[in-house]
Amino acid sequence: MNASKNTRILCRLGLYLMIASIGIRPLIGQIIENPKKPPGPNAGRVVSLKEVQRIGDETGKFFFVQPIGVFAGRDGSVYVQEYKQFLKFDAQGRYVGNLLKKGEGPGELNDNLTDVIVGNDDILLYSSNSLKLIRITPDGRLIEDRRFSQGLFGDLLGYRAGRFFSCASRERSFPGLAESARINTDFSSSRRRAKSSRPPS
């Protein structure tokens, strides 16, 4: 008896949903098809792409494994970030070298390269896995090498006047907020909002 009642309810629900979807269809909107040739003389819809340069694997020199970032230097150099290599090409697209040295010594990484910032006079290479930051010149000479004792940040934002800038996000729980309402940030404005939303004691 109970099973047949449930079946009837499900059938009615299905019928209502089908009727609702048919009834809503005209309200969804009209399909618009754009003409192949725009009616306006200066419609501005066409963007022509022009290949300026192509860089491909060079047998015996390098090959791309998993590029995750491409950066341009002030002099027109092109840098390609991968987890295990940081390749440099000159302004004409010729391979210069791999600026990422493997190992545990100064200026070397033995883990994934997770963050890169290419500046005018320096390049920052950071591994969030090994908590190591390397600062080099655009031609690969070591300027600075730092290892952190704990994960201070998630994303590396930059370096200026001897200070590193980063973006960190931490899950925090605030007194006075429901246990399910957690704020996943580290910004003081969120803390102020959370404090002001506390009920008076």
Supply the range of the domain harboring residue 74. 69-150
In a domain, 84, yes or no: yes
pLDDT tens for residues 60-100? Answer: 888 889 999 999 999 999 999 999 999 999 999 999 999 99
In a domain, 131, yes or no: yes
Q: For residue 106, how many C-alpha atoms fall within 13 Å in the half-sphere facing its CB?
A: 6
In a domain, 13, yes or no: no
In a domain, 90, yes or no: yes
Q: What is the pLDDT of residue 181?
A: 41
- As for how many domains the chain has, the answer is 1
Q: What is the pLDDT of residue 200?
A: 44
Q: Are 129 and 135 in contact (CB under 8 A)?
A: no
CATH number at residue 112: 2.40.10.480
CA distance 161 to 138: 18
39: left (phi over 0), alpha (psi -120 to 50) or beta: alpha
198 pLDDT tier (thresholds 50, 70, 90): very low
185 pLDDT tier (thresholds 50, 70, 90): very low
- Helix or strand (DSSP H, E) at 71: strand 69-72
In a domain, 198, yes or no: no
In a domain, 88, yes or no: yes
Percent pLDDT > 90 in the chain is 23
Residue 193 or residue 16, greater confidence: 16
In a domain, 18, yes or no: no
